[in-house]
Amino acid sequence: MATIVEYSAEKSARNGYPRKIISPPFPGPCCLTYMKRIGEMLAEGDGQRFCYKRCTRCGFTVREFVFNIELDRLLALQVSDWDRPRNWIDRVRREAQDDPADIAA
Ligand SMILES: [Zn+2]
């Protein structure tokens, strides 16, 4: 199943879910706060479930497989600015890992 997300720096962000989503190629500082799940949980042909998450501010969209953000697609862009999304993803993962400790405390 092909992703409905098109990453483009030229086109303006657009939410045409469930048919097409235009997303900026990189997340911004706003994305940590404004990421919202859109639509329902979907399943790949192999049964892997995922949902689309989209920033309501800038329109950055990813497919999220339960902490498995679409790294392959971002890597495939082969951009020199890779540090930015990697740092963002590291931060999201750290915060996710921190959650249980916060609850325990
Ligand atoms: Zn954003």
Token pair, residue 2, equals 């092909």
User: Within a 10 A sphere around the Cβ of 74, how many other Cβ atoms?
Assistant: 19
Chain segment 64-79, per-residue pLDDT in tens: 875 445 555 655 665 5
Q: How many A from CA of 2 to the centre of ligand 1? A: 23
Distance, CA of 36 to CA of 69 (rounded, Å)? 14
Q: How many A from CA of 35 to the centre of ligand 1? A: 7
Tell which wins on pLDDT, 91 or 52. Answer: 52
Q: How many A from CA of 104 to the centre of ligand 1? A: 30
pTM metric for this prediction: 0.59
State whether residue 57 is helix, strand or coil.
coil
Q: How many A from CA of 24 to the centre of ligand 1? A: 9
Q: How far is CA 62 from CA 72, 78, 102, in A?
A: 11, 17, 26
